[in-house]
Structure 1
Amino acid sequence: PHLAEAFSRACDRILREEEVEFEDRRPGEVLLRVSRALLNMTLEAGSCTMAELEFLAMETIVTIEPKFSHSALRFISGTFGPFEARVNEAVPLWLALTLKKRQRCRILPPAWMRKEALRDILDQEQAEGVFTSIDYYYQEISDALFKSARDDINDADEVQALIEDIANVRQAKIRHGLKDLAKSSLDETTWSVQLTNMSAMELFLIKDLLPEALNNFIDFSRSGAIEAQSAASQAAATPRFADVETSGGVARRLRRFRSSV
């Protein structure tokens, strides 16, 4: 019930933001937008789980090469097909994996899962300090394909190693970013953090840590400002004594007075 209600609210949000009807878009595009909106809502609510991430990733559209011919298949999430043997067709990942388990299709890996593309992404990740653009669910999708359709991936071992290297480099960036955030917060107040091109899994891993860290940084900065203001107020209220030159002049006059007596 919780997931169904969130799904309905995600649909309503897309309709309000885009001001279009579902019939104006392909079912796969609508489902992908709904799943991303649902992820954003669950992240905001702090209730997203790893299972929900995998569930949302299953709505990603992939290409299959069917080994059968059949009329269009109708589901609650949309209509896919018709299918013709050896003619590529776009379907959700969950449907592709179901057909693959029954040996009814071959799954064509996404373009970003090609060995050459992954090498380029890895080089950019290592050369730049920001996150390189990659599929939002790249970890969930690759894990599912390696588990159920490994034989459909060319150079699967090398591709898997490249994806793991990319994930490790991006995780290192997150750790260094949190350290830099802590250092910068000692000198200035940090109100926001840029999360451009971060994946769903990476956001999930920091969704609890980052807001708490920002709140602590803000509280620390405010407490430091209050202490500094209090110290300045105390200094302004403390009476100042005469300077050394004046006191020295008084001492010299006293000595002259004693000598005249």
Structure 2
Amino acid sequence: MNGEAVLTSVADGVATVTLNRPDKRNAVDDATRGALIDALEGVGADEAVRAVVLTGAGPAFCAGGDIAGMRARLDAPQGRVGFNGWRRQKRTHRLIATVHGLDKPVVAAVNGPASGLGCDLALACDFVMVGPHATFAMAYLRRGLIPDGGGLYFLPRRVGLARAKELIYSARTIDAAEALAIGLADRHADDVVPAAQGWAAELSRGSPIALALAKSILNRALDLTAEEVFALGSEAQAICYATDEHRDAVRAFLDKSAR
């Protein structure tokens, strides 16, 4: 079990998905990317799972892309480097889309450094909880690259455009306190994984159907007009009207009021 690149455990309706390459600071290579997609799709399809926590084993959350993998990529025949990179980008974007699109609350429990793709993974979650040793770095420009794991989309929405530019251009590392101050992180806990699991459980107490529908709209709301959001909301509410959760809640309220 400990030899697996990604570990998954479920307790009280909360799935904890753990990057498990502590000797590599949980850097993501091709195999880990695939294992993480499989794990997330698995918990997403499991109706017993109501919320997800994403974290890393050992002292790091995720150091980003695996440098050994980058070297192997550059060692490919010159005529294949671009096409191979394009295919790898598609898999990376599938990973980020899977995190972002889960129809359950997803909390990143950032226990240590989150750099490059690791920072992007945290930002793709609904919420970010930091431990005392958490740090964040949009380190791509140090490698001659641009953020390719969603940071160009998620970071400005969290911290504003100017601050996102500063963090990306400088590639500097920020600590947990600054992450909280600028809105990159949401909460702090000394024992971050149990705290994130507790928070995830709180977030998932309502109707899973209503939550999934609300999240699907909220994930797009900043890119839509008010009229488009209202239209999507009307369609989603019609579905909610027909759910057992809504019917049971109305009956329980009426029964209580009649006493």
TM-score of the aligned structures, taking structure 1 as reference length: 0.28
Larger fraction in helix: 1
TM-score of the aligned structures, taking structure 2 as reference length: 0.28
Q: Could you say which structure has the larger radius of gyration? A: 1
